Structure 1
Amino acid sequence: MIRLWWLIMLLAFPASVQADELRPGYVEFTQNTATQWTLVWKFPVQGGFTPSTQPQLPAVCKGAGAPVREFSDAAVTTRMPVHCRQDVAGQTFGLENFNTLQSDVLVRIAPLARPVQAIRLTPAAPLAVISARADRWQVAQTYFLTGIDHILFGYDHLLFVVALVLLLSGFWTIAKAVTAFTVAHSFTLAGTTLGWIGLPQKPVESVIALSILFLAVEIVKRKPDDKRLSERAPWVVAFGFGLLHGFGFAGALKEIGLPEQDIPIALLTFNLGVEAGQIAIVGATILAIEILQRRFSMLLSPTIKLATYGIGITASYWFIERTLT
């Protein structure tokens, strides 16, 4: 019984209130001239990374200056100039002392004369070979897993989906609302990424926080004999907010960029990764609610209420933070 209660609470209260984090760690290796590169790596303060976790440069490269560190947004960002005496294609790049409990680190390699390449590093595979041109399978795998990361570590999107499930009842009602949310954010994700449409990111992030707060209020004010708009036409509400969340997904995807020669497959697999993570969240939430309802029905109502207030408080904090910063 206690484990079931904590399952609901873990879905409602992420380990950190930092929203919309695309990945636990990020490394960018960008070419400026024929021999000059810039290396940037960003690790979260609470991510389990240590000062000994450092990028391992290709054998043909070496640091050309002292690293400069900045502390912001609960993360440490380090920047360092690098000199490479020849092409890095075929060379090994990775991380030293990468033995944390965190998930993958995304590496973005941007040469001057070739498409941007994205590589994922894990504690089990901390090194990778830089390709002259990334093959399509590597692109598909990288962006699919990145999409899963974003829905699971992008806590604002996660909380919106959880709140949507808590608000509604009935499998098909939830399925229709989640489908509407999916279709809507797929439209704006593709349109924004391809440069067809766009909105300023700051206001979008603030309104995304408001969308979560709106659902939390709807759950608290829900009455069985007086259905509100969000219950009478949940797909309309989900579709409208889904359009906004798509701009948020696009903003996160913009951080790593898309491989110029494989944009369609990267965009498609990123979106599929988001959907895979979303299905997992919906399934886990429905399963937890169903088990509580069948076996510990007296805990269901107080658990949902407590989770809802937690979601609303978190969303309010995000809205204030994003509006003032």
Structure 2
Amino acid sequence: MVSWTKYLWPAILFLWLALLLLPNVVLSHESQPGAVEIRHLAGDRYEVAWRAPIYYNKPHPARLQLPKSWQTIGQPVQRRTRDAILFTRIVSTQGEGLDGQILRFPGLESTITDVFIKIALADGSVMTTTARPTRPWAELRGERSWHITAREYLFLGFHHILLGLDHLLFVLGLLLIVKSRVMLLQTITSFTIAHSITLAIATLGYARAPLPPLNAAIALSIMFLGPEIMRARRGEDSLTIARPWLAAFGFGLLHGFGFASGLSTTGIPKTELPWALLWFNLGVEFGQLVFVSLILLLAWSFRTLKIVWPKWVEVVPAYSVGSLGAYWTIQRTMIMIGGF
């Protein structure tokens, strides 16, 4: 009887080529959002802080454009951190207040990142909203209902996993190792539990992982799967091949910290933190489920159509996963030690 996993090879090759053709995806790592925090000082004066992410020493192409009626007081301050540039200024709204004002982000439409806007008023109340590449502006309004908040964070989680090519490649590698549907379920469940644990720990502030070494470690987890995929194809055995759920759990803890980087930078109000964590994680799981389902659907289609593929097709996904994992590991390690 032919193993059902035989048909994963052409399916994964097909999807892999499609991913390579998407603009900006291969060079992207995280859909780490930008963040704007507006803090009320006194009267009509506010402090505006715009956090623009940096990706591999490349500045964020978007910029913050304030309403024309707002007047900047004093000299704006620019400060660079390891993973972002922080622009801070004091503004006067000229007595117009915030309600109905529009923040624009020219250049955001050419990225894959969202921008979260947080408004902290003098009475302690906090309001949030979001700008997206498909809508590079945000209208400042009053407090949002819970379902709007849930939708925002659900979309952010879904967006984060589907545009995080390194996370998807790791899941692809796991799919190429598992030998049965039961093992597939165990492996995906183990990965889900692991990254949910560290996502919660990091978001709640109990632990954190520095982004440069974390990115290198995630790339290393992908490179690790390359040789394991080839061993599985040759019928050899190893701990990872026999129990892929162990590798999924161990490396899933690292990937959870990576997911947290896409959530912790948004400046989540404490009142929204439980909802944000829940819905962001559900968005990640939904995106992962969509991705795995697409792979299995493609495999089923190729099996049903009885397409005969050349032998070399079977090795392309393994070498692609391993090679790209190695490339990212070297690239991110050089960035980490200041080589670039």
Give the TM bin, normalised by the shorter chain.
0.7 to 0.9
Shift of 1:88: 4.5
Match of 1:318 among 309, 316, 328: 328
Quick one: which of 70, 76, 86 aligns to 1:61? 70
Structure 1 residue ranges without an equivalent (≥5): none
Aligned letter for 2:240?
Answer: S
Gaps of 5+ in 2: 1-9, 336-340
Once the two structures are superposed, residues 137-171 of structure 1 have per-residue CA deviations (whole angstroms, 9 ceiling, x without a partner) of 22211111111111112221121112111222333
- Distance across 1 between alignment mates of 2:163 and 2:81: 18
1:22 aligns with 2:31: yes
1:301/1:198 CA distance change after superposition, 3 Å: farther
1:272 aligns to 2:282 (yes or no): yes
Q: Indicate whether 1:169 and 2:182 are aligned.
A: no
Shift in CA distance, 103/225, structure 1 to aligned 2, threshold 3 Å: closer
For 2:147, the equivalent position in structure 1 comes to 137
- Deviation for aligned residue 1:230: 1.7
Contact 2:118 2:127 in 1 (8 A): yes
1:265, 1:150 → 2: CA distance?
17
Report SS of the residue matched to 2:71.
strand
Deviation at 1:250, TM superposition (A): 1.4
1:221 is aligned to 231
* Displacement after TM superposition at 1:136 (Å): 1.6
Identity %: 30
1:153 partner amino acid: L
SS at match of 1:120: strand
* AA aligned opposite 1:84: S
Counterpart residue identity of residue 287, structure 1: L
User: CA 1:226/1:220 → structure 2, altered by over 3 Å: closer, same or farther?
Assistant: closer
What TM-score does the superposition give when structure 1 sets the normalisation length? 0.80
Counterpart of 2:100 (choices 66, 91, 94) is 91
Aligned amino acid, residue 219 of structure 1: I
Give 2:316's aligned amino acid: L
**1:119-158 → structure 2 map (5 Å cutoff):** 119-122=129-132, 125-158=135-168
| 1:292–1:301 Cα change, 3 Å | farther
**Does residue 109 of structure 1 match 2:118?**
yes
Name which of 204, 215, 222 aligns with 1:205. Answer: 215
Question: Which residue in 1 is equivalent to 2:192?
Answer: 182
Q: 1:305 to 1:112 in 2, by over 3 A?
A: farther
Residues 157, 280 of structure 2: 8 Å contact kept: yes
- Letter of the structure 1 residue corresponding to residue 120 of structure 2: P
Cα RMSD of the aligned pairs, angstroms, is 3.7
Secondary structure of 1:108 counterpart: strand
Query: 1:225 deviation in Å?
Result: 3.9
Work out whether 1:191 is the aligned partner of 2:201: yes
**Residue from 262, 272, 287 that aligns with 1:252:** 262
Q: 1:9 aligns with which of 6, 10, 17?
A: 17
Question: What's the TM-score, normalizing by structure 2?
Answer: 0.77
My pick for the range that moved more, 206-215 or 93-102, is 93-102
